[in-house]
Amino acid sequence: MINDYLERHYPFEGCFNFRDIGGYLNQDGKRIKKGLYFRAGRQDRMSNQDLSKLSNLKISTQIDLRRPDEVLEQGKGPLEAMGAKYINIAVIPEGGTDKLSRLVGDTKISGKRYLGYLEFGPTTWLRLFGILANEDNLPVVLHCTAGKDRTGVSTAFLLSILGVSREVIEADYLLTNLDTERQADFIENTVGYPEGYDRETMISLAGVPKDAMKVFLDGLESKWGSAIEYLEKIGVTQEQMEAIRTNFLE
């Protein structure tokens, strides 16, 4: 389905799951512009060589989906010092992790858990798509800690607005699983695996379930009709969606 992973993926030494969504065709035959939207994991462990490569991307805005306590623990990363505007939009608010587990009945990553993100209200998505509707904010790096769950859901919404097929949305999400071994190696060679963890466990934790995005999108369709109809329901306007399409499609 996606055969250009090596072109869109940036194999930074100290940052993982960093890739461009540019190049995907939508269902009208338009193409997403390259170099405008990068989905990623945390950037605070980047090497000097990484920083040199990152500066070449000329990022205007860093959209950080982590909780404030995660930001304090891990750090913002280097982009703000490079001149990017830093915006924190916590998909899961402070104390929200326990509430999310109560809502979905488990703590494992799943499409059901992704649907639980929506229970925290529309503010995250209203802010996010307001930012992406403004061309002055581009290019952006959007990330959480691992760049797969909160980042994956946000990117699925954006790709839906851009008219990309479900098959491509699900395939883009699963590209995360191609960078898990590098992450496990990095952990082993730097801080070491946490007690009770081994390489296989770390690879599993860094990846995503094969059906999670499908279950998430199925859930949106079942309750709201589609990802687009959900966004319309919460107040993302047609004008904003059209501006996003203008900004990102060619």
Largest Cα span, the chain: 51
Three-class SS state of 86 = strand
Per residue, the 3-state secondary structure of 138-163, as one string, reads: CCEEEECCCCCCHHHHHHHHHHHHCC
Domain count, the chain: 1
Q: Is the pTM of this model over 0.95?
A: yes
Per-residue pLDDT of the chain (250 residues; tens, 9 = 90+): 799 999 999 999 999 999 999 999 999 999 999 999 999 999 999 999 999 999 999 999 999 999 999 999 999 999 999 999 999 999 999 888 888 888 887 668 999 999 999 999 999 999 999 999 999 999 999 999 999 999 999 999 999 999 999 999 999 999 999 999 999 999 999 998 888 889 999 999 899 999 999 999 999 999 999 999 999 999 999 999 999 999 999 9
By residue range, what is the domain housing residue 147?
A: 5-248
**Which residue reads 């061309």 in tokens?**
135
Distance from C-alpha of 216 to C-alpha of 219, rounded to nearest angstrom: 5
Q: What is the CATH number of the domain that holds 47?
A: 3.90.190.10
DSSP 122: S
Angle, alpha carbons 31-247-84 (nearest 5°): 115
